[in-house]
Amino acid sequence: MKTVDSFNFKNKKALVRVDFNVPLNDKYEITDLTRIKAVEPTIRKILNDGGSAILMSHLGRPKSGPEEKFSLKHLVNELSDRFGTMVKFASDCIGEESIKLSEALKPGEILLLENLRFHAEEKKGDAGFAQKLAKLGDVYVNDAFGTAHRAHASTSVIAQFFDDKMAGYVMEAELANVKKVLERPKRPFTAIMGGVKISDKILIIEKMLDKIDNLLIGGGMSYTFFKALGGNVGKSLVEEDKLELAGMLIKKAKEKGVNLELPIDSVIADDFNNNANTQIAKNFSIPDGWMGLDIGPEAREVFSNIIRESGTILWNGPMGVFEMPNFANGTSAIAKAVVEATEKGGFSLIGGGDSAAAVNNLGYGNKVSYVSTGGGALLEYMEGKELPGVTALE
């Protein structure tokens, strides 16, 4: 796979697939710049070489056609300030205007195309649509690891129309860091799995049991395990159809010599809101009418001690409903322990999505080894699946 470092972009128009799927508030202001900052070095390399950059991305999930709240025009000011140049904007990613703007683009300039998903052909992986996009640039760069698991027009189909196609710095770093964890982990290797559903994590848990020493399970998915073990979990979230599966994973971990740790206790609440009444309960005996919304103090202690002694850490998914301050302590404690392990020389990979948001919000983004920008793509790669966006560059 070629990377941007091995290419000179002088006088070239680089068509760059970026991941600008950023959160906007009701005033259309960007509330988290992580994804924009991540792709900045790739864009700067192109401009510094004397090339120009044509940026294409999706934003949100538009139903059918253009929607104001999903327009990429809301990013123009931020990008212009960041790169010190007036970023040009095409109000459609294909068609007359985008062709004219791309043809007129001079070295050092940036053109941002409107949301790719305003066209249904993008998600369908339509070759005709991909070819129209391809005509805008001389070379193709994919730096959107977060969408690499999708066989969409701009992420994989488009590559066939270019002789020069390559990975940007984000794509390169994501793959290098995942390989480091999967192929050369420093022991002990601890995986921390949180979030709501076992069904979302089943494949990665099964795959990782062959590689890890410790598996720490928190978040909503832990209550399915407790119910499978015969515990009373009150009205905590349980996937009833996954009880057998949870039992099987516990058995498999034992057979493979993996230390599977479930949280001893929980912060429980009588309602799903930040101001609910709360108490601490052991996870085998949560009273009826109460639900677990965060790992408890004993669990925080046990988990943190294991994490601090780890050589390699993979973390995917929060320990509780961390969006509510009263149920964020578990996630904060785990983040702090991951930082401490990293400071002691451990390698920590934070797997996208909510865990990445939690680490960044706590100000620990630069205190862990790597924060992945690709939630679903990272999971699928670790599950051993082929990523169309990666394969297309090989």
Catalytic residues: 35, 197, 353, 376
Contact 204, 316 (CB under 8 A): yes
Tokens of 249: 């994973």
Give me the amino acid identity at 4.
V
Residue listed under structure tokens 């790669």: 381
Contact 58, 122 (CB under 8 A): yes
Tokens of 202: 């089943």
- The burial class, CB within 10 Å (0-12 / 13-18 / 19+), for 84 is exposed
Tokens of 385: 């699946």
β-sheet bridge partners, residue 13: 52
Contact 253, 275 (CB under 8 A): no
The closest alpha carbon to 209, from 266, 147, 256, 265, belongs to 256
Residue listed under structure tokens 């990272």: 378
For 123-143, give one letter per residue: b (16+ CB within 10 A) or e: bebbeebbebbbebbbbbbbb
